[in-house]
Amino acid sequence: MNRKTNRPLLKIGVLGSGKGSNCQSIIDAIAAGTLNAEIVCVISDVENAFILERARKHGIFAQFMSAAPFKTKLEADAEKKYIDTLKLHGAEVVVLAGFMRIIKKGMLSTFSRRILNIHPALLPAFPGVESWKQALDYGAKFTGCTVHLVDEGTDTGPIIIQRVVPVLDNDTPETLHARIQVEEHIAYPEALRLIAAGRLSFDGRRAKIEMD
Ligand code: GRF
């Protein structure tokens, strides 16, 4: 329970496959007292992913859970294990933070409209992988990041928050991605803050944000 707001802490389960800088931004927002939430578990499909180390460093339950044999899918057996672990830890919201597998029906219906993803582009432009490179190759002048609800499509769910990043003439894929990540680290905690405060609702696909 948060003493200032009287609202219970939002319980977040994080899934990630990589370095976990977005997870870190959520950990930092909680530690700074700007996000009324608790990360109850971090699960990774990559055994040595740095996201696990980050979580453990902060005393958060962190577990590698194999999702083999496929590279991009979470097959039924693995999906069940993931759901069971998230439930066991009381996750109310599932945050995908660089999780490189497609979420299927089972998990979508268990956490209906409570799975969030962050995408490194201004959706619906440049869905899929290496979106910063797609934006650069396309010649876009602006790109950014999007926090959205996960649905059955790839990067197609209702948009919660977007932040814009200009593409500079001398950008490389690496420099552009790095600047997008700076905005991601603001956008993800902000989206979760809206949910934790009960200020986010949807009218069809359109996110409605209640004033603070
Ligand atoms: C981010 O760029 C995110 O937009 C994409 O995967 C990357 C994850 O980065 N979905 P990190 O592991 O959070 O640092």
Say which CATH topology domain 118-212 has.
Answer: Rossmann fold (3.40.50)
What is the model's pLDDT at position 4?
57
- What mean pLDDT value characterizes the chain? 95
Q: Is the pLDDT of residue 142 over 80?
A: yes
Q: What is the mean pLDDT of residues 169-184?
A: 98
pLDDT band at 6, cuts 50/70/90? confident
Nearest-atom number in ligand 1 for the CA of 96 is: 10
Mutate to test the pocket of ligand 1, among 181, 182, 183, 186 (most ligand atoms within 8 A of CB): 181
Q: What is the mean pLDDT of residues 17-34?
A: 98
Q: What is the mean pLDDT of residues 2-27?
A: 90
Q: Is the pLDDT of residue 68 over 90?
A: no
Domain 10-112 has CATH 3.40.50.170: yes
Q: Is the pLDDT of residue 1 over 70?
A: no
Whose Cα sits closest to atom 1 in ligand 1? 98
Q: Does residue 133 have its Cβ closer than 6 Å to ligand 1? A: no
Q: Is the pLDDT of residue 106 over 90?
A: yes
For β-strands 62-64 and 93-96, DSSP reports them as unpaired
Q: Is the pLDDT of residue 3 over 60?
A: no
Which residues does 137 contact at the CB level (< 8 Å), separation at least 6? Answer: none
Helix (H, G, I), strand (E, B) or coil at 188: helix
pLDDT band at 2, cuts 50/70/90? low
Q: Is the pLDDT of residue 156 over 90?
A: yes
> 145 C-alpha to center of ligand 1: Å?
10
Q: Say how far apart CA 81 and CA 70 lie, in whole Å.
A: 16
| The residue to which tokens 């044999």 are assigned | 69
Domain ranges of the chain: 10-112, 118-212
Mutate to test the pocket of ligand 1, among 21, 22, 175 (most ligand atoms within 8 A of CB): 22
Q: What is the mean pLDDT of residues 54-59?
A: 97
Q: Is the pLDDT of residue 108 over 70?
A: yes
Q: Is the pLDDT of residue 58 over 80?
A: yes
Structure tokens of 183?
Answer: 């905005």
What is the model's pLDDT at position 72?
83
* Percent of the residues in the chain that have a pLDDT greater than 90, as a whole number: 91
Nearest-atom number in ligand 1 for the CA of 17 is: 12
Nearest-atom number in ligand 1 for the CA of 177 is: 2
Q: Is the pLDDT of residue 212 over 90?
A: no
Q: What is the mean pLDDT of residues 160-166?
A: 98
What is the model's pLDDT at position 5?
63
Q: What is the mean pLDDT of residues 15-42?
A: 98
Determine the distance from the C-alpha atom of residue 17 to the mean position of all C-alpha atoms in its chain, rounded to a whole number: 11
Contacts of 102-107 with C-beta under 8 Å, sequence gap 24+, read: 102/72, 102/73, 102/74, 102/154, 103/74, 103/150, 104/73, 104/74, 104/79, 104/152, 105/152, 106/76, 106/79, 106/80, 107/74, 107/79, 107/82, 107/83
What is the model's pLDDT at position 41?
98
